[in-house]
Amino acid sequence: MTIDRTRRIEFLRRWSRLMDSAYGVPGTAIRFGWDPIVGLVPGVGDAATASFALAILYHASRLGVPRVVLARMALNTLVDLAAGLIPFAGDVADVAWKSNRMNLALLERHERPGVKPSSGDWAVVLLAVVVIGGALALVLVAAATMAYTVLRPFV
């Protein structure tokens, strides 16, 4: 591993810790970072924390992480962002769903040249494609049904 790679990963490690697990709740195993704290600011907070997640994706891409792993990392980020859109409950979810830590673990596992994506990486991405595709299909069928119901008397 070159010095640049080492420094880049160490930088991401430090920021990931700050975002997801810098602080602990005394007497418990619960750890949290700046992600749920900044997420309390409506609208801007979740966008700000997602920008760090995008930085991890950018560096992962520069380090040669396989595309399917990048897609899995993006899914982790989207789940975090979607949960964060729900006021207060999303901030509680941010304490549990540590997308930056998950993405860093994926990065560290796949950043070395020649490391192939696991079957789990493929399964998560394919499952997400099926679920999102199914949800979009349901929305299209519902829209078509509503349009047919509204326009039927005029045809």
The per-residue pLDDT for range 41-83, each reduced to its tens digit, is 877 888 888 888 899 999 999 988 999 999 999 999 999 888 8
One domain for residues 104 and 142: no
Span between the terminal Cα atoms of the chain, in Å: 68
- The listed range with the strongest mean pLDDT (51-65, 108-122, 138-152) is 138-152
pTM of the model: 0.83
Q: Tens digits of per-residue pLDDT, 67-76?
A: 999 999 999 9
Domain membership of residue 40 as a residue range: 3-115
One domain for residues 22 and 66: yes
Burial pattern 121-154, b for ≥16 Cβ within 10 A else e, equals beebbeebeeeeeeeeeeeeeeeeeeeeeeeeee
One domain for residues 38 and 57: yes
Domain count, the chain: 2
